[in-house]
Amino acid sequence: MDYLPWIIGFVLFIIVISFLSSHFNRIKCPNCKKRNCLEIKREEISRQQVMFEEEEIIKHVERKDGLYGGAQEAYAKLKSQVGAQDSTTIRKYKVPGERIYYKVTYKCNNCSDTFTGNVYVDNRPPTVRG
Ligand SMILES: [Zn+2]
């Protein structure tokens, strides 16, 4: 079996998809409908408090004798023991953050028209793992 044509085809497919998605994510000029605009100004409108959902995957090992180990250092040691079983718990929690709304002014590179649009940026606190 010769896999090379399949690999080349797959790589080309990924390149085309990423090109198309980056093209259609760009903002469209309302005047000439071209997606060739440049951000020239950004001003903050408002800030809103939001709760973001985070997930923590906790790996632990359960032994048949009922003893339980959750610490990362003990993990490999316990796993090698007879009767040790892997189990995973997903803990969901919420962290407070901020959503900042901006009014953005764009200039079209094609027809030189300027227009505004609203965007928001999420300001999530860094995830603390312990
Ligand atoms: Zn334009």
Q: Does position 66 have pLDDT exceeding 50, yes or no?
A: no
| Both structure tokens of 62 | 């359960």
Using the mean position of ligand 1's atoms as its centre, give its distance from the Cα of residue 101 in Å: 24
Using the mean position of ligand 1's atoms as its centre, give its distance from the Cα of residue 14 in Å: 29
Using the mean position of ligand 1's atoms as its centre, give its distance from the Cα of residue 119 in Å: 19
Q: Which pLDDT score, from 0 to 100, does residue 39 have?
A: 95
Domain ranges within the chain, ordered by starting residue: 4-123
> How far apart (Å, rounded) are the C-alpha atoms in residues 94 and 107?
38
For 17-42, how does the pLDDT look when each residue is reduced to its tens digit (9 = 90+)? 998 888 888 899 999 999 999 999 99
Using the mean position of ligand 1's atoms as its centre, give its distance from the Cα of residue 39 in Å: 13
Helix or strand run (H / E) with residue 109: none
> How far apart (Å, rounded) are the C-alpha atoms in residues 85 and 26?
48
Backbone angles phi, psi at 88, to 5 degrees: -130, 135
For 76-113, how does the pLDDT look when each residue is reduced to its tens digit (9 = 90+)? 666 666 566 667 788 898 989 999 999 999 999 999 99
Using the mean position of ligand 1's atoms as its centre, give its distance from the Cα of residue 106 in Å: 10
Beta-carbon contacts of 47 under 8 Å, excluding residues fewer than 6 positions away, are: 98, 99, 100, 101
Q: Which pLDDT score, from 0 to 100, does residue 117 have?
A: 93
Using the mean position of ligand 1's atoms as its centre, give its distance from the Cα of residue 91 in Å: 48
Using the mean position of ligand 1's atoms as its centre, give its distance from the Cα of residue 99 in Å: 29
Beta-carbon contacts of 121 under 8 Å, excluding residues fewer than 6 positions away, are: 99, 100, 102
Q: Does position 69 have pLDDT exceeding 60, yes or no?
A: no
Using the mean position of ligand 1's atoms as its centre, give its distance from the Cα of residue 111 in Å: 4
